């Protein structure tokens, strides 16, 4: 893991690159930088059952589907990127693994730009009943809480969450108290501030105990966002080890939220 200072500079640098690339025109092929290629390599490696590869302009799925890597307006603002992310857009903000040394930089929200077509192809469209056939039930923290939760079995997400549950269950009570009761897993809804499909609607996300959580949207929407977190790093590290990113690493923080996004964690 790089030092905290270095990680923060990387986050800010990549955000700048993302903005410049968007301004340069997202309808073009891969940018000159090797960074998009490395991120696409990580994407294909993270979903080996679904993805076959990519070329200069498209992502290739194993079933023959092709999707454009770029797309949308040429001058995307942060709000545009949240609502109309291309596949390249969704990969451009690197996710800093390990403990944060300082609050995230302004608008550094690694993982919040999501290409809807990509996720609906991968997990289904919950509004059309495409997600629930893949959901399975498992007991969350069986030694401690044990209530049944539902998560997708696509990409083995259920197996990863079962392993996470066992590891958190073995933590001391004062730490694992932040992980139950949970606030939810599958829920076919939109994200509060963007109106876009929530990762909860794909069955790949879990919200932990709200009594130990902080969410920027619960606070003032005017002026700079003041970061706050009470989620134990031990819980964050367990999720990251199993391919889940944490909403506590977003400028628009959501510290109860964990989401299966292995493409942002492989190779790091
Ligand atoms: Zn959530």
Beta strands at 58-61 and 135-139: parallel, antiparallel or unpaired:
unpaired
Output the CA 67–ligand 1 centroid distance in Å. 27
Are the CB atoms for 246 and 239 separated by under 8 Å? yes
Are the CB atoms for 95 and 245 separated by under 8 Å? yes
Report the share of the chain in percent with pLDDT over 90: 76
DSSP annotation of 248: G
Question: What residue spans of the chain are helical by DSSP H?
Answer: 4-24, 35-46, 78-83, 87-91, 116-123, 157-169, 173-176, 233-241
Output the CA 212–ligand 1 centroid distance in Å. 14
Residue 73: pLDDT band with limits 50, 70, 90: confident
Output the CA 241–ligand 1 centroid distance in Å. 19
Task: Return the bridge partners of 60, or none.
Answer: 53, 66
DSSP 161-204: HHHHHHHHHTS-HHHHGGG-S--BS----B-TTT-SBPGGGGT-
Residue 9: pLDDT band with limits 50, 70, 90: very low
Output the CA 28–ligand 1 centroid distance in Å. 33
pLDDT digits (tens, 9 = 90+) for 110-160: 999 999 999 999 999 999 999 999 999 999 999 999 999 999 999 999 999
**How far is Cα of residue 65 from the mean position of the Cα atoms in its chain?**
23
């Amino acid at each position: 893991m790089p030092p905290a200072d270095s990680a923060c500079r990387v986050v800010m640098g990549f955000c700048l690159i993302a903005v410049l690339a968007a301004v340069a025109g997202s309808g073009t092929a891969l940018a000159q930088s090797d960074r998009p290629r490395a991120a696409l390599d990580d994407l294909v490696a993270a979903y080996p059952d679904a993805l076959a590869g990519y070329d200069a302009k498209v992502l290739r799925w194993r079933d023959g589907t092709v999707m454009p890597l770029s797309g949308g307006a040429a001058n995307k603002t942060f709000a545009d990127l949240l609502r109309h992310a291309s596949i390249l857009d969704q990969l451009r903000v690197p996710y800093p693994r390990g403990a944060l040394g300082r609050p995230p930089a302004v608008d550094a929200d690694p993982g919040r730009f999501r290409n809807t077509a990509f996720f609906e192809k991968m997990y289904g469209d919950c509004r059309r009943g495409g997600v629930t056939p893949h959901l399975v039930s498992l007991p969350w923290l069986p030694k401690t809480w044990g209530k049944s939760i539902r998560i997708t079995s696509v990409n083995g997400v259920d197996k990863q969450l079962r392993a996470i549950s066992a590891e958190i269950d073995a933590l001391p009570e004062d730490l694992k108290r932040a992980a139950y009761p949970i606030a939810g897993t599958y829920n076919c809804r939109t994200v509060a501030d963007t109106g876009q499909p929530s990762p909860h609607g794909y069955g790949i996300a879990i919200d932990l105990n709200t009594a130990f959580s902080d969410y920027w949207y619960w606070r003032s929407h005017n002026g700079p966002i003041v970061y706050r977190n009470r989620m134990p790093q031990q819980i964050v590290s367990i999720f990251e080890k199993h391919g889940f990113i944490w909403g506590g690493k977003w400028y628009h923080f959501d510290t109860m939220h964990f989401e299966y996004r292995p493409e942002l964690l492989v190779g790091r």
